[in-house]
Structure 1
Amino acid sequence: MKKGWLIILSFLLPLTPGLCQVGETTGGTLVFNGIVRDESTFLPLPEAQIFLNRSFIAVTGEEGTFSLRVNRRDTLEFRLLGYQNASFQVSDSLSGSEFMVGIYMQTDTIAIEEVVIIPRLENLKYDIYKPPPTTTEMQNARYNMAVSAYQGRMGIGKLGDPESNYAMIHQRNLRNASEKGTIPSDAMVGLSPFMLVGVAYLLINGLPPKPEPFKSSLTREELDQIHRNYLEKLRKE
């Protein structure tokens, strides 16, 4: 992963040289316009997830490009199924306000020869400690125990202080009399007319569309410049 960090950091190219000043290390947010590519095939990688300080913020577009705002010392991470995560921290020594970024992700595949399939531990334990088959007498005993436990639970409500039982029955009768001909209080469901607005909107327009990724403003020449710098970096290594 360290190699990936060095590649990423070496391709932070300022887009606005006129705004760059030597020694400028503080300021507002930075604009990163970039592209995510496969390190081996150099093909763009769409739908790569972008995380800013461990929070998901966006995905790359159909051509692997992205555009976002970051602050110095923020941590950016790019994730895509089948690739190793690529992350780096935005340096606080960057001069300028807008940069081009080239992210080259390494594949993360496993050869089939390296896959080992073994039984789950739970299955092994079940086979080892499998209980003996139950007899008819054991089944009858379990049934009798279950019936006794059920009768005991159902009979608890009828026991206790007679005065307390009478007060509970009296209260229940009063509630039943007041709710006669209406919906019982324990069966009521609260509805708000404002809920119908959202339901009607969903029925008419359907679910909201998936938010589109932030579009990068990089030109084809700038994308080629990023790739040329990457190839030059590989030749020097």
Structure 2
Amino acid sequence: MKKSKISNTTLDRLPIYYRCLKKLKEYKIDFVSSKELEKRTGINSNQIRRDLYDVRMDISYYHDFGVRGMGYPVSSLLEILEKILGLNNEIEIALVGAGSLGQALISYKEFKKMGLKIKYVFDIDSKKDSSQLADIELYDIANISNIITKNQVKMAIIAVPASAAQEIANELVEAGVEVILNFAPVYLELPEEVTVRNEDLSIGLIGLSYHLSKQQVQEAPLKYLG
């Protein structure tokens, strides 16, 4: 497999560009400058140009994506990012955990717009009210291995308590899952070839709380130094 020239930090920004370009295409806008992308995404225009340069190098395309005096062609750049991100074909996802968080993820409409489909939902209580599952069949968590293997599912979301997350992750990987989005507040120990993205909501809020506490520390530094 060819080693990617795109860093993980750049990969984190590509979906933002992709979503922005999708909107521009809906508005029938044919070209967009890096400055306009900066206004719409909040990402510095120099960073955008560097990221798109990395994309060009990754696909061995040695000409600028942009057109002088006009900017980037929206449709062409969107198509390139779709292929880079693997969104040119619909991706079926398994969701483990049909509680409040799981139900919220199922209701999230942006997944469908991005070519992502939650198709298999597992829960320890397979008789749970499925009215909030958007007509997706709910499977008993004991059937994960069989269903994941049979349908060759490669992407999964974990939305279970921390105490169950590692065991679930192990089972998913053994069944063939290669990419996991983990909402459980726990570090997962998995083989290097498995890609894991952790989305711990509490950590995100704690990080934001820094901006509240910073002013308090500045106003009364001696108190915090003892």
TM-score for both structures, normalised by structure 1: 0.21
Structure with the bigger RCO (C-alpha within 8 Å, sep 6+) is 1
Structure of larger gyration radius:
1
Higher helix share: 2
